[in-house]
Amino acid sequence: MPAALPNELLLGILEEAAATNTRTAYAICLVASWATQIAETHLYALIQTHYKEGADLVRRWLEETGQGKVPQRARYVRWLWVEASFEGSKDTIVRRLELEFNPALLTNLIRLFPNLQSIGWTQRHESGYNELWRLRNHQLRTYLLSSRLDSLPDEADGDVHGLNPLHLALSSRSEIYVAQTPPDTPSILDRVTHLRLNSYAWTLPNPPLGYYRNSTHLSIASDGGGSEMLVLFSGLFVCRLPKLEMYVIEMFERCTRESWVSCLKRVKERRSKGLPVFVMMRPDSLREDWEGEWLGGEGRSVWTRARVFTSEREQEDWAPPPPVLS
């Protein structure tokens, strides 16, 4: 009979296997209770509510907090994509208040998920997302703004006002936080160091990015039409965000050659003046790209890809990239 593996080696093998994907982590959880303790940290590390399983899980955790319970496994969540449907209001102000990702929501998300590293937030009109299992915007906000979350015990509370880095991705301009308080007022948004915005319309007419004053990395997506304007605004963003190290223009794969020529010309000009402007190409879907970052690790991050892509364009004398074949 072969000799048994040393416990430390066995635990290390299971830990590495559980980290590969959620399916493997789930299988390891079925082995024994001691194996579950190893695999759970990876099983719940990534939660996405555009899948039924993720939506049901987050809904159950929120319901537990409403009953005064602390969802113990929520502390394992490190990457969270929250997608909810809304009915929509004809009143522009009401609609913005219904959709914006404000500090109160972020505060309670961190209370519920104290080890969050990256958050994706998107609200979609229910006309195309009306399945019964989907999270509803008004229900989600009711739970997240509940006073029950304010009373979570210390072990679930997390360092709410600490400066541990947090990545935030917003998919609609209606979700950006616009407040009446001065930008220099301390806020939970100070935790956001990496900010991705999926619409260039945020920059008009007065970008409220000062509320994310600790951001060291900023990226804004463009379908090509506003890319030149985004590059020209780089100086403004550097002034509004004094810690900014990277400003990335995310060009969609479907952008025309003309859009690329215009954008790259401006990127070249700004970089020659010492501004930290970068450019990259990605698919239209922010969620899919965000998910790819999780699966691919640091090498797949938007920031790493932007550095590589910009370097390649510079080496090619800023020639547009070859078209992506569909």
- 215-260, pLDDT tens digit by residue? 999 999 887 667 777 887 788 888 888 899 999 999 988 888 998 9
Angle at 221 between CA 237 and CA 307, to 5 degrees: 75
Q: Which two three-digit tokens encode residue 72? A: 């113990």
* 135 vs 317: CA distance, rounded Å: 47
Could you tell me which residues come within 8 angstroms of residue 203 by beta carbon, excluding any fewer than 6 positions away? 220, 226, 229, 230, 233
Could you tell me which residues come within 8 angstroms of residue 93 by beta carbon, excluding any fewer than 6 positions away? none
Residue 264 — φ and ψ, nearest 5°? Answer: -65, -30
> For residue 126, what pLDDT is reported?
65
Residue 10 CB: number of other CB atoms within 10 A?
13
> For residue 143, what pLDDT is reported?
83
* 241 vs 207: CA distance, rounded Å: 11
What is the distance between the terminal CA atoms of the chain, rounded to a whole angstrom? 55
Residue 10 has pLDDT above 70, yes or no: no
Q: Which two three-digit tokens encode residue 13? A: 């093998």
Could you tell me which residues come within 8 angstroms of residue 240 by beta carbon, excluding any fewer than 6 positions away? 207, 209, 210, 213
* Predicted TM-score of the model (pTM): 0.84
172 vs 26, residue with greater confidence: 172
Could you tell me which residues come within 8 angstroms of residue 214 by beta carbon, excluding any fewer than 6 positions away? 163, 190, 191, 192, 193, 243
* 182 vs 265: CA distance, rounded Å: 36
For helices 92-99 and 137-144, angle between their N-to-C axes, nearest 10 degrees: 60
Cβ atoms of 90 and 174 closer than 8 Å: no
Residue 121 — φ and ψ, nearest 5°? Answer: -135, 125
Residue 62 has pLDDT above 50, yes or no: yes
Residue 23 has pLDDT above 80, yes or no: no
> For residue 216, what pLDDT is reported?
95
Residue 204 has pLDDT above 70, yes or no: no
Per-residue pLDDT tens over the stretch 168-179: 998 876 677 766
